[in-house]
Chains A and B, each alone.
Chain A
């Protein structure tokens, strides 16, 4: 029995340079395992240890997803093995092709009844891939999951719900998106990183996956971010009372207070 964890190898947009015309230069933004995916790996690791399942990482993306650095970074988080699709056609792919390709990879892997994902990716932040992945598999999806116990086919899932929480019983295959604070993921040590290099990895050719393509999306215009013009008036706070007097006067003059 296998538990799959979908992860993304992606850069942080914070580190990208954006031109006035909206062109994005990623050359200084280094990719990493997307910030909340280690939480999903940790939830999967604990469940796999409790049930004797194998924990398999799945990732689809551009060629760098198959780089030794990317595979080691993911495997050192606690996965048993990794299966990736690394192809130019999937570099920067949108939510739907990514979710569909992951679904095809789950089906190809077989013997999987539980797929875990993080809360959102660092670069797109759409929080949509788990839903598309589940839809493509015909499985239900639950998000904001804070705890999972039991075995596949008889899972108890707790999730955040409308400010409170909800406990669900799941008797079939399911996709679970774990909350960013579900558990604290382990920090890989030197031993984890060294042993990661020895774990099995498989690279699946994109041609082996069926039905991941979607209608082409054409970029007809780009622009910089929509920013309001801000005053940028600096107030020295070394003397808090004086600073506050100046601030309150300015806000009153603006009609805000």
Chain B
């Protein structure tokens, strides 16, 4: 029987990890007791909780997590792509000497060897990779799962003493979960000014859609918050309808939206790469098209 350890840092949304896990599952939870309890009812076999973190950041538990997983020697270690979860996964990979796989679509164990099918090089190709030992797989965590009531065992661990949280400033706005949005209107560099975000929001409002953006608009100019950035290192979304306004279609972005049902791309450039990955390719000005579409649907 193969075994999987699932690493959780402060966020119990691990349904995709539970679904992907081969064999018996144990969750190692860093964070509050409430997080451990929520993980216990998400379909895992058992839960090991490392105790209340106090003023230690969750990353400070990476060493104890690596010790614990190394002692258990599972076939597969799964973690979500959330920041602190990645730090735990990296420490485990370093300790085990295990390869790390991201963008994975399938994880299997055959005769003690792990086989992972994943997108490589930012999504330009796929590979199936076999390792005769443990592997660490880091993928989107999913949503809050429901199922079972696994026992929670407390194994109090000492976090690294050299790093402490001094101050936490809460988000000014509530975070959006784009992964669950049914419709998304996304915009890219075709947007000329920050006040024009209203054009995008107007169309999103009549469609009942969430707004999103490509990387430069979240990290370059900061017109959108980072939770609305779709791309290889951002959100991976799967709406029924994805409207891409003024996004050229660089791989970095399209990889995050490839699971969309119907894709509408609007671009002035008829030869833009996005048109190769879109159902409807509207060659035109995003302002004119978005305005007319908003009027038509109002």
Residue of A nearest to B231 (CB): A125
Task: Please determine whether A233 and B220 come into contact, CB atoms closer than 8 angstroms.
Answer: no
List the B side residues contacting A234 at CB < 8 Å. Answer: 270, 275, 281, 283
- Does B297 have its Cβ within 8 Å of any Cβ on chain A? yes
Q: In the complex, what's the smallest C-beta–C-beta distance from B296 to chain A, in angstroms?
A: 5
Name B6-53 residues within 8 Å CB distance of A.
none
- How many interface contacts (CB-CB < 8 Å) are there between A and B? 305
Give CA–CA (A120, B215) in the complex, Å: 13
Task: Please determine whether A13 and B121 come into contact, CB atoms closer than 8 angstroms.
Answer: yes
Residue of A nearest to B94 (CB): A135
Q: Pick the residue among A128, A216, A243 that contacts B93 (CB under 8 A).
A: A128
Interface size on A, residues (CB 8 A): 93
- Does A50 have its Cβ within 8 Å of any Cβ on chain B? no
Q: Pick the residue among B105, B115, B275 that contacts A226 (CB under 8 A).
A: B105
Task: Please determine whether B266 and A131 come into contact, CB atoms closer than 8 angstroms.
Answer: no
Known: A119-B233, A235-B281. A95 touches B59 (CB 8 A): no
List the A side residues contacting B192 at CB < 8 Å. Answer: none
Task: Please determine whether B281 and A245 come into contact, CB atoms closer than 8 angstroms.
Answer: no
Name B167-183 residues within 8 Å CB distance of A.
167-175
Known: A134-B90, A143-B83, A217-B99. A124 touches B121 (CB 8 A): yes
Task: Please determine whether B288 and A164 come into contact, CB atoms closer than 8 angstroms.
Answer: no
Name B41-98 residues within 8 Å CB distance of A.
57, 59-60, 62-63, 66, 81, 83, 86-95, 97-98
- Does A63 have its Cβ within 8 Å of any Cβ on chain B? no
Q: Pick the residue among B121, B220, B222, B276 that contacts A232 (CB under 8 A).
A: B276
List the B side residues contacting A131 at CB < 8 Å. Answer: 62, 86-91, 93-94
Known: A124-B122, A226-B126. A231 touches B297 (CB 8 A): no
Known: A100-B94, A135-B66. A163 touches B175 (CB 8 A): yes
Task: Please determine whether A174 and B165 come into contact, CB atoms closer than 8 angstroms.
Answer: no
Task: Please determine whether B99 and A95 come into contact, CB atoms closer than 8 angstroms.
Answer: yes
Stretch at the interface among A1-9, A74-82, A192-200, A247-255: A247-255
Task: Please determine whether B163 and A168 come into contact, CB atoms closer than 8 angstroms.
Answer: yes
Q: In the complex, what's the smallest C-beta–C-beta distance from A235 to chain B, in angstroms?
A: 5
Known: A221-B128, A237-B288, A254-B262. A161 touches B62 (CB 8 A): no
Task: Please determine whether B97 and A215 come into contact, CB atoms closer than 8 angstroms.
Answer: yes
Name B231-277 residues within 8 Å CB distance of A.
232-233, 240-241, 250-252, 258, 261-264, 266, 270, 275-277
List the A side residues contacting B174 at CB < 8 Å. Answer: 163
- Does B125 have its Cβ within 8 Å of any Cβ on chain A? yes
Q: Pick the residue among A103, A219, A244 that contacts B289 (CB under 8 A).
A: A244
Q: Pick the residue among B90, B117, B161 that contacts A135 (CB under 8 A).
A: B90
Task: Please determine whether B233 and A96 come into contact, CB atoms closer than 8 angstroms.
Answer: no
Stretch at the interface among A14-22, A40-48, A64-72, A83-91: A14-22
Q: Which residues of A contact B (CB under 8 A)?
A: 13-14, 16, 18, 22-24, 94-96, 99-100, 103, 119-120, 122-136, 138-144, 156, 160-174, 179-181, 213-228, 230-238, 240-241, 243-245, 247-248, 250-251, 254, 256-257
